[in-house]
Amino acid sequence: MARRAIVAANWKMNGDLTLVNTMVTGLTNVELQDNVSVVICPSTPYLSSLVTKVKAEQLNTAICIGAQNVSEHESGAYTGEISTKMLRDLSVEFAIIGHSERRSYYKETSTQVAHKVNAALNAGLTPILCIGESEAERATEQTETVLASQLQPVIDEVGIEKFIDVVIAYEPVWAIGTGKTASSEMAQETHQFIRQFLAQANENVAAKVPLLYGGSVNASNCEELFAQADIDGGLIGGASLQVEQFKIICSAAKGK
């Protein structure tokens, strides 16, 4: 089975209804290569409007909708949280889980992230599992140790076989929103480690898991990054707020 490429837009706490409309309209004529999926993840208040706009433009097969977070709980007294069932009711297909900003600002642990991945899978959502090291951890050669410590709890929770339905986004924390980008060689080396780490548990599954790179990906560097053997697309931050730049990034992705 060919490994699909994914370009996911993480708008973070940015955007508005105008961006929803201009982005979807702008993507009506984007040229995607075979086996490429585009996922747009707006803030929760705009999920419904985005779904409506995508359906109106008949782009359901070209654009998928994703949430930026999801609760590990099915329901209950969790003010401000959003459940997997709520997302499914809105025709949401993906959920970003474990982003470094969630881990840092909201103290999400790898164990909690594993619970969220499990909840998403059980609901039929595709988790975009984010992992990544800090600049200090990279400088002290702890990258592989950190990534392994973020991946293993999820493997323990859901089992390696379930990773056939998981997308992994490697985002070096030092490159998120900073303008710094790992070189294509550095990114490939780390992605290769991630795939090899998964392969220790199941080689067949590891070969099929889409691995995305995130960290100041833009229209200028996307083609070189996406050409790497183990980079299957990107989780795009700032550049996903700019229609023309995001279209270029989407067009550069290719299935492997």
Span 49-87, pLDDT tens digits: 999 999 999 998 889 999 999 999 999 999 999 999 999
Both tokens of 73, joined, read 């709980």
Question: Which residues are CB-neighbours of 125 under 8 A, at least 6 positions away?
Answer: 70, 84, 87, 88, 92, 93, 94, 95
Nearest to 251 by CA among 67, 243, 15, 181: 243
Q: Tell me the per-residue pLDDT of 125-134, one tens digit each, with 9 for 90 and over.
A: 999 999 999 9
Domain limits for position 9: 5-252
Q: What residues of the chain score a pLDDT lower than 70?
A: 1
- What pLDDT is recorded for position 173? 87
CA distance 70 to 45: 14
The reported pLDDT for the residue numbered 178 is 76
* pLDDT for the residue numbered 158: 98
pLDDT of 182 reads: 78
How far apart are alpha carbons 216 and 107 in whole angstroms?
Answer: 23
Eight-state DSSP code of residue 33: P
- Which is catalytic among the residues 108, 133, 137, 171? 171
Reported pTM:
0.96
Active-site residue flag, 171: yes
Q: Which of 72, 99, 108, 137 is catalytic?
A: 99
| Residues near 205 by beta carbon (within 8 Å), at least 6 away in sequence | 160, 161, 163, 164, 198
Domain count within the chain? 1
Query: Tell me, what's the pLDDT at 155?
Result: 98
CATH number of the domain enclosing 107: 3.20.20.70
Residues in contact with 37: Cβ distance below 8 Å, sequence separation at least 6, in sequence order: 4, 5, 6, 7, 64
Alpha helices, DSSP H, located in 1-109? 17-26, 47-56, 84-89, 100-105
- Annotation marks residue 185 as catalytic: no
